[in-house]
Structure 1
Amino acid sequence: MKKIFSRIIFITFLIIIVVCFKVNASTIFSNEGMEGFINKNIELMIFLTLLTVLPMLIIMTTSFTRIVVTFAFLKNASGLQNAVPSVVLIGLSIMLTFFIMFPVGQRINNEAIVPYINKEISTKEAYDKGVIPLKEFMFTQTRKDDLDLFIELSKYEGEVTAIAVPMTTLMPAFALSEIKTSFQIGFLIFIPFLVIDMVIASILMAMGMMMVSPAIISLPFKILLIVLVDGWKLVIKSIFLSFGGV
């Protein structure tokens, strides 16, 4: 298995090199010379590398983590592991992430992307302006204790503001804070379903039916509870309000 994986990586690396060479082969004999050829190849390889890291960066800098972990708690607490496919929950998490992050994305588009497309600002200026709305969102949602932890670990001694704190320090603090928040929401989700399990287990023991699994009997009551209180709506609304939505 390791040999197959190593071969796949090696073949992928060769393909990237071939693509880089083909795209820029004509520049070798142009006025830019060999220096321009090498620079463009390096830029292309960096771009292709960033594409592989981009999904992880999007997950760790948006509301996706809190949403998908909360849905996982709801799925496990209700006992609906097989009824609700994981791909459905991930798709719903992505849609809610777009909904929650829309104001941030709109600011990034207006302040960085549009001016960059119109060639009004450079690439560095576009990054500096585009990252500000994202950092402000992350800074607002990050607990002070988590941020202080990574500031101490990174030995950062500058000003503690959304703009000043480095992205390398803010990102792990934000991710840790998101996981903590989702666990708190998950605890509250588990309580009513745990009560149902305890009641069903007590009834079965009183009836002498100790060999019957309480999970089988309690599952219909859990589904009924979700339907009666509109559980999915309550969870989604709670997630949205946890980000400061109104």
Structure 2
Amino acid sequence: MRRAALLAVASILFIGFAVDPAMAQDTSLASSLEGSLTSRSIQIFLLLTVLSLAPGIAIMVTCFPFLITVLSILRQGLGLQASPPNMLLVSLAMFLTFFVMEPVFTAAWTEGVTPMLEEQITAEQAFERTVGPFRIFMSERMDPDTYLALAALRPDAAATLPGPDAPLSVLVPSFMLSEMARAFQIGFLIFLPFLIIDLVVAAVLMSMGMMMVPPAIVSLPFKLSFFVLADGWSLIASALVRSYF
């Protein structure tokens, strides 16, 4: 009896769907809407993830690591621990980065972001076009030996050559390591004059028998005056910027 009732209900439902195609259409429409909402949620989640990683990405693929490393070594060479403060050094490095990278940002926006906003290309094509100018910038500053050393660690990338078409997973760390190595080379040249002043002041204090006086305290005014008279900030900033052009 119960089985007969279930069969009757199933028959009525089947007849109702067959007779009323609008109901079936509403069901398929609801399913499509649910699928579109799910895909839109995934897109929003991915967008928020990219935005949260944007500061790290900006540091990895621009000249910011090189600039902030050189400026930090300069402050250490002057013998100043907290002046200029970290916020000032980071701000200066950020604006110098914007000055150097503005053509790259403009090209990436024009070639990738603008066509995507105008719905002329897909998101995948926009990503490739946006990354293209950064690939060219990184490949021009990258040390080929560093790239080959990292590529040899991966069997699938060992046959690739350093260039704009290299895999990002190898290109980005090669670029960062090359920038850090170059920053330490320039930092050594910047640190050397201040080291000579420290050695001269230490030798003078030793000859005068003032062994209890810290040489760093006495040499600090001489280093500051030497740096200010040479217009050090302008010279270093202009030299760092010219190294990218």
Instruction: Please give the TM-score of this superposition, normalised by the length of structure 2.
Output: 0.84
Q: Is the 8 A contact 2:151 2:160 kept in 1?
A: no
Larger Rg: 2
Residues 162, 214 of structure 1: alpha-carbon distance in 2 compared, 3 angstrom cutoff = same
- Which residue identity is paired with 1:232? W
| Deviation sequence 1:179-225 (CA, Å, 0-9, x none) | 10100011001100000000000000000000000000000001001
Residue 153 of structure 1 aligns to a residue whose secondary structure is coil
Range moving further from structure 2, 210-219 or 159-168: 159-168
Equivalent residue for 1:68? 68
Aligned counterpart, 1:192: 193
- CA deviations 1:30-61 (Å, max 9, x no partner) are 56333223222222222222222111111010
- Distance, in Å, in 2 between the alignment partners of 1:211 and 1:237 is 40
- Kept in 1: contact 2:108–2:129 (CA 8 A): yes
After superposition, residues 1-246 of structure 1 pair within 5 angstroms as 32-155=32-155, 156-160=157-161, 162-243=163-244, 245=245
Report the Cα offset of residue 241 of structure 1: 2.2
5+ residue gaps, structure 2, are 1-28
Shift, 1:242, TM fit: 2.0
Structure 2 Cα separation of the partners of residues 107 and 33 of structure 1 = 37
Rounded to whole Å, the distance in 2 between the matches of 1:208 and 1:141 is: 50
Quick one: distance in 2 between partners of 1:158 and 1:146?
15
**CA distance in structure 2 between the aligned counterparts of 1:220 and 1:233, rounded to whole angstroms:** 20
- 1:82 Cα offset (Å): 2.3
CA contact (8 A) 2:75 2:81 kept: yes
Cα RMSD of the aligned pairs, angstroms, is 1.5
| CA distances 1:57-84 after superposition (whole Å, capped 9, x unpaired) | 1101000000000000000000122221
Partner Cα distance (1:33, 1:119) in 2: 21
Q: What CA distance in whole angstroms lies between the structure 2 residues aligned with 1:205 and 1:66?
A: 38
Whole-Å separation in 2 of the counterparts to 1:143 and 1:88: 30
The answer for unaligned runs of 5 or more in structure 1 is 1-28
Tell whether the 8 Å contact from 1:197 to 1:215 is kept in structure 2 after alignment.
yes
> Separation in 2 of the partners of 1:92 and 1:237?
12
Give the conservation status (yes or no) of the 8 Å contact 2:67–2:240. yes
Residue identity over aligned pairs, in percent, reads: 36
Contact 2:147 2:162 in 1 (8 A): no
Distance, in Å, in 1 between the alignment partners of 2:123 and 2:151 is 28
Aligned residue for 1:80, secondary structure, equals coil
Aligned length: 216
1:17 corresponds to: none
Q: 1:146-166, CA deviations, whole angstroms, 9 ceiling, x for partnerless residues?
A: 111121112215552533211
- Match of 2:153, SS? helix
Give TM-score scaled by structure 1 length.
0.83
Structure 1 range deviating more: 181-190 or 234-243: 234-243
